[in-house]
Amino acid sequence: MTVVVVVSKAYATQSTQSPEVMSKAAPNDEDNESVKTLKDKLSDALLNISVKDDLVKQHAKVAEEAVSGWEKAENEVLVLKQKLETANQKNSALEDRLGHLDGALKECVRQLRQAREEQEQKIQEVVSKKTREWESLKSVLEDQLIELQAQLQSVETEAAASIDYDLQAKLEAAEKQNLTLKLELHSKAKELEVRIIERDLSTKAAETASKQHLESIRKVAKLEAECCRLKAAARKVSQVGNQKSGFTSLVYVESLTGSQSDCGERLSTVELGTVKMGRLEPNECEPSQSGSWASSFVTEQKNRMAPSTEINLMDDFLEMERLAALPVTDIESSFTEVGSVSDQPNGGEIRFKADLDAMTQRMAELEQKLEKIKMEKVELEVALGVCQKHLETSQSQLLETNTRLQELQQQLVLAKETKKAAEEEARTTRTKREAAESQLKVVENEVNALLSKIGSLEKEVQKERALSADNIARCQKMEVELLSIKRETENEREAELQRKQSINVNLKIKQEKELALAADKFAECQKTIASLGQQLKSLASFEDFLLESESEEQPEITTGESSHTKNGIETQDFRSNDLNLPRKDSEFSHPMKNRKEKKSPLLLDSEKSQNGFGKFFPQK
């Protein structure tokens, strides 16, 4: 019974002290709630700060990527500029090469023109030389003709003076010579016909050669026109896109028309020259009056070849034979007549005189005919010599024309080769030019594409710059906000720390007081427990007695229970205090743990105090 009373007293003392502990725990709950709210705010602020840090990092990455993209774009622009410079250098080199090729083509055309002009000058010089030579030959032949006429006159006078008795032998020799000359004349006439045919053939060959020469000249003119056209086309192609294209094309057209007109004029002059040559070729066979006289003589001879002339010649020949046969009989008759004249002087003399007169007349006629024949023979010889000379000259001219034709053919071949070479060069230049133009177009397309890329990249760079500027502004704003938030958080932390320090100080004071009270109570409890232990040891032998006494002392227990019910409120309060103490300990321990995380010295002291307070209640 004494033990129960002591325990009830202890519980009563504890119950009397529990309202103070509950009153002290109420502000601690408010502080814990404020700490929790502050912790939530701090966590939210830290989350916002972390999110803003992530945004700042993302913006920094975007800015770095924009700067790297801008640098890449600048590098690409530099590479494209280098490519453009190389393309421009190639274009300038190709233009220089085209200029060199145009200069070479102009030089070739100039050389061709120069060679053609030199050839024309040489032809004109040769023609003038030949005309001068023909004129000199003409004058020489005229002088020779005059000398021959003078010689003929002197021979006629000498023949008329030197008529003597041996005239018959001379006449016979002259007749024989006349026969031989007639035969020779006949053969010479045939030869002359053959030579005339040959001359006609040579003239035809010369005409064909002149025609070929004309054709070759026309071909050369065509080649010149084609070369001029090619040059104009090359110039037109080389000067496409220039502002002075109209003026240069007009100049080229005028130069082309001028060159064509020059070519036409040269063709006309060459044709006139060939016509003159064709006219001169028959005229060269008849130098001045001697040539015309020779041609008239040839025509007369042809006319004399007619049957009437042949009959006259035969009559003259018969008369000559008759006269040749007459002298022997006439001489005999004359001698007989002379002998008879001596007998009959009057009639015989008259007859002899008449016969002598007839003979002298006949002899004079025969001498005239002989002189005519000699003259004709001389004329025929002269004509034959002239014809032979003309034939030789025509043959030499034919040879010269053949050599000239060969030279012209060689020159034509050379001109064709040069034309082919020029065409090949023009083709190569065209192909090179087309390739250069295609390369230029490709380069221009690439340049345009690169320029568009550069423009797009510049736009992107500008956008990225604007974005980076916005991001930088946002970052600055965020930094300002972060700084303000940090300052606020620092201020809040300082305020909270100050509050916590004040709370911790108050708690320390309260805890120290409570600890002192609890230590006193614990010492009293230990004393009571020690006394109770001693009493229990003394009463251990009386357990059986107590069991027996329980059944006997039931009414006393009921009275004790009523007293115990009176003090039930106190025991319940004590138990509630006992039950609330660990809860408070847990409440205190939870913020202490959070304070441990922040590692403040005051919280460490409070934790130590709580741990020390927990040591006082090991059973609970």
- pLDDT 10s digits, 190-215: 877 887 887 788 778 778 877 777 77
Residue with tokens 């084609």: 226
Burial bucket for residue 362 (CB in 10 Å: 0-12, 13-18, 19+): middle
Residue 546: the pLDDT is 63
Of residues 284 and 83, more confidently modeled: 83
Residue 248: the pLDDT is 43
Whether 319 has a pLDDT exceeding 60, the answer reads no
Residue 173: the pLDDT is 74
3-state SS record for 507-538: HHHHHHHHHHHHHHHHHHHHHHHHHHHHHHHH
Q: What is the mean pLDDT of residues 107-111?
A: 80
Residue 140 pLDDT grade (very low, low, confident, very high; cuts 50, 70, 90): confident
- pLDDT 10s digits, 269-314: 444 444 444 444 334 333 333 344 444 444 444 444 444 444 444 5
Q: What is the mean pLDDT of residues 459-488?
A: 74
Q: Token digits for 500? A: 């916590």
Q: What is the mean pLDDT of residues 547-557?
A: 59
Residue 268 pLDDT grade (very low, low, confident, very high; cuts 50, 70, 90): very low
- Of 273, 277, 285, 294, nearest in space to 199 by CA: 285
- Among 38-42, 328-332, 426-430, 552-556, the minimum mean pLDDT is found in 328-332
- pLDDT 10s digits, 396-433: 777 877 777 777 777 777 777 877 777 787 777 777 77
CA atoms of 16 and 23, how far apart (whole Å): 13
Residue 244: the pLDDT is 47
Of residues 204 and 169, more confidently modeled: 204
Q: Are 340 and 348 in contact (CB under 8 A)?
A: yes
Whether 475 has a pLDDT exceeding 60, the answer reads yes
Q: Is the pTM of this model over 0.85?
A: no
DSSP state of 241: T
The percent of residues above 90 in pLDDT, for the chain, comes to 0
- Among 389-393, 411-415, 547-551, the minimum mean pLDDT is found in 547-551
Residue 230: the pLDDT is 73
Whether 385 has a pLDDT exceeding 60, the answer reads yes
Residue 490: the pLDDT is 77
CA atoms of 432 and 204, how far apart (whole Å): 50
**Long-range CB contacts for residues 435-441, cutoff 8 Å, separation at least 24:** 436/90, 436/91, 436/94, 439/87, 439/90, 440/87, 440/91
Whether 579 has a pLDDT exceeding 50, the answer reads no
Residue 549 pLDDT grade (very low, low, confident, very high; cuts 50, 70, 90): low
The domains of the chain are located at 2-50+469-615
Whether 368 has a pLDDT exceeding 60, the answer reads yes
Residue with tokens 């972060």: 482
Residue 172 pLDDT grade (very low, low, confident, very high; cuts 50, 70, 90): confident
Residue 308: the pLDDT is 43
Q: What is the mean pLDDT of the chain?
A: 66
Residue 88: the pLDDT is 82
- 202 to each of 75, 178, 217, 370, how far by Cα in Å? 85, 33, 22, 36
- 355 Cβ partners below 8 Å, 6+ apart? 330, 334
- pLDDT 10s digits, 525-543: 778 788 777 777 766 666 6
Whether 523 has a pLDDT exceeding 60, the answer reads yes
Residue 318 pLDDT grade (very low, low, confident, very high; cuts 50, 70, 90): low
- pLDDT 10s digits, 66-81: 788 778 877 887 888 8
CA atoms of 382 and 375, how far apart (whole Å): 10
